[in-house]
Amino acid sequence: MASVRLEHLGKTYRGGVNALQDLTVTIPNGEFVCILGPSGSGKSTALKLLAGIEEATTGRIFFDDQDVTLTTPERRDVAMVFQSYGLYPQMTVAENIAFPLMLRKVPRAERARQVEEVCKLLGIGKLLRRYPRQLSGGERQRVALGRCIVRNPRVFLLDEPLSNLDANLRVSMRQELRRLHEILGATFIYVTHDQDDALAMGDRVLVLAEGRLQQYDAATRVYQYPANRFVASFLGRLPMNFFSGALETRGDLVMFRNADLLLAVPDGKPPVTGTATLGVRPDAISVRSAHPGKEAPVGFVRWLEVVQPDLYATIEIGSHRIIAKVPEGEALEVGQPAYLHFNPAKLHLFDPATGDRLNPAPEEAAPAGTRRREALA
C-alpha cells in the first residue's frame, strides 16, 4: 500500500506528440481513484508511466515519498491489469497466478497455498487447471486480478479492464472490484473512458483531456460541480445544454440574460457582470405544457426520446434547442408549445474564454475517501 504523488509529470512521444502535460496530483494511501477521459486524453499514458513501461519526459513519480521515476517496472512493486488481460497463454490459470511467486523463488507448497487463497477470494477455484483460451472474458479478468493480488503490491493499476465485457458483467464486476478494494485496502488507480465506471467506483475521479488535468475531486463533486466546461459536457448521460449570454445584477440577484432567456443565478458569488456561458443538465430542466406565465421561457416541442427510465424532450426556443426532462404524468406532443422550468440550484456558469467555472462550488461536506452512496442528481 502506498500513496502516489505525481509532480509535473509529462510525456512527449517521438515525433512531438504531447500525450501528457504537467500532471501534479497526490493520491492518498488506500484510495480508489478513477482516471477518466476520452481517447487521446493521456489516461493510458499516465498509467504506463506509473507502471514504468514508458518513461516520463518530464516530472517525477513518488510512491510513499520514494522517487521511482527511474525505477524499472520489474522493481517498482506495482501490479497491473491490462485491457486484454495479458495472461500467459501457455500456462494454466494456477501457473499464471503463481508466476510472480515463482519468479521470486517462493517454494512450491507456499505458492500453491497462496494461489488457492487468491482463488477463493475471486471465486475461480474451479478454473485452476484450465488454459486462458478456455476461459470467458470475465474469468480471464479474474485470473489477471489474481495474478496481481498474489503479489501484494504497493499500487494496483487497472487499464480499462471492463471494456471488453458485456453490460451485465460490467455491472457485477464493478461491485467485485470495489469489494476487493475494501478487502485488500490497497491503492487502486483505474483508467477508463466510461463515466459510469468512474462515477460508480471511484472515491475520487481525475478527469483528463488532451493530456491535461481538468479536475481532480470526489466523484459526486465532479458530477455536481464540474470545474470547467469540458468536465461539464463530458459527464452526464445526456449532453449538457449550453447558452452564451451575459451576467447582470438586478437588485440583490445576479441574472443571466441572453436573447431568449433570463434566469436568476444561484447565490454562489459569481463575478457580477461580464459574458458567461451557462450550463444546465437536461434533468435540471423540466418541461410542461405551456400555461401562460410571465417568466418561464416558452418554446415548442420538437422531439421526444426515452432515455431510461425517463422521457426527454427537445424544445426549441428562439435559436436554442434545449433538452429537458418530462416529469411523470406530463403528456406532450411534438409541435405543441411548452414552458421550461430551470432548477436554480443546478445552474453552472463558465467563462466563455477559458471554460473555467465561475460560480464556485461549496466546500466539501465529507472528506474524500468516504464511499458515497448518494444518488447522483
Partner 1 sequence: MGRKFPSPAGEAIAGGAILVLATALEAVQVHYRAGWVFWLWLLAVIAGLTLLRRGLNGVRLDLGTRVVAGLLAVVVVAVIVVPFVLVVLVGSFQSRIELLSGPHIWPTHFTTQFYGQLFNAGLGFGSTAASVYGQAYRNSLIVAATVAIFTTLCALLGAYAIARIRFPGRGAIHSAVMITYMLPGIILFVPLVGIIKSLQLVDSLPGMFLGHSAIILPFVVWLMVGAFDAVDPDTEYAARVDGASRFGALRRVVLPLILPSVATTAVFAFLLSWNELLFAKVMYISQTPMLAPTIVNFMDPINRIEPQLSAAGMAASVPVLLLALLMQRYIIRDIGEGSVK
Partner 2 sequence: MSVLGVRRRRSPSDLAIKGEQRFYAGVFLLPTALIALGLVAYPLVYSLLLTVRGAGDLPGELGPWIGFSNWTHLVGDPVFRQSFVQSVMYVVPACVVGVGVALAVAVVLNQDFPGRRIARACLLIPWALPPVVVAAMFEWFLDARRGLFGAWLTGLGITARPPDFFSGIPGTLFTLVGIHVWKTFPLLAIMFVVALQYLPQETLHAARIDGAGMLHRFRYVVLPHLRPTIVAAVIIELLITLQLFDLIYALTLGGPGAYSTYNLYFYAYKNTFEYQDFGYGAVLAYVVSALVIVCALILTRGRAARSQLAGG
Buried/exposed 59-79: b ≥16 CB within 10 Å, e otherwise: bebbbeeeebbeeeeeebebb
Q: From 15-23, 48-56, 116-124, 168-176, give the range in contact with partner 2 by CB under 8 A.
A: 48-56
- Nearest distance from C-beta of residue 81 to partner 2, angstroms: 9
Q: Where are the beta strands (DSSP E) in 308-365?
A: 310-317, 320-326, 337-342, 348-350
3-class DSSP state of 122: helix
Q: From 21-29, 31-39, 130-138, 358-366, give the range in contact with partner 2 by CB under 8 A.
A: 130-138
The one-letter amino acid code at 298 reads V
Q: From 47-55, 164-172, 219-227, 349-357, give the range in contact with partner 1 by CB under 8 A.
A: 47-55
By beta-carbon proximity to partner 2, the closer residue of 133 and 373 is 133
Tell me: does residue 246 bind partner 1 (CB under 8 A): no
- Nearest distance from C-beta of residue 105 to partner 2, angstroms: 11
Residue entry with cell 418561464: 296
Tell me: does residue 82 bind partner 2 (CB under 8 A): yes
**N-term to C-term CA, the chain:** 33
Tell me: does residue 163 bind partner 2 (CB under 8 A): no
Cell of 31: 484510495
Tell me: does residue 217 bind partner 1 (CB under 8 A): no
Q: From 51-59, 88-96, 236-244, 253-261, give the range in contact with partner 1 by CB under 8 A.
A: 51-59
Q: From 48-56, 148-156, 166-174, 257-265, give the range in contact with partner 1 by CB under 8 A.
A: 48-56
Number of H helices, E strands in the chain: 8, 20
- Nearest distance from C-beta of residue 68 to partner 2, angstroms: 13
Cell of 116: 488457492
Tell me: does residue 55 bind partner 1 (CB under 8 A): yes
3-class DSSP state of 217: strand
Q: Are 234 and 192 in contact (CB under 8 A)?
A: no
In the set 87, 145, 206, 263, which binds partner 2 (CB under 8 A)? 87
3-class DSSP state of 238: coil
Dihedral (CA of 72, 75, 78, 83) sign: positive
Which does residue 70 touch among partner 1, partner 2, none (CB within 5 to 8 A, set by kind)? partner 1
By beta-carbon proximity to partner 1, the closer residue of 54 and 203 is 54
Tell me: does residue 99 bind partner 2 (CB under 8 A): yes
**How many CA within 13 A on the CB side of residue 342?**
25
Which does residue 103 touch among partner 1, partner 2, none (CB within 5 to 8 A, set by kind)? partner 2
Tell me: does residue 70 bind partner 1 (CB under 8 A): yes
Distance separating alpha carbons of residues 35 and 32, to the nearest angstrom: 10
Assign residue 343 a region: left if phi > 0, alpha if psi is -120 to 50, beta otherwise? beta
Where along the sequence are the contacts to partner 2 (CB under 8 A)? 51-53, 72-76, 78-80, 82-91, 99-100, 103-104, 131, 133-134, 144, 147, 151
Where along the sequence are the contacts to partner 1 (CB under 8 A)? 52, 54-55, 70, 72
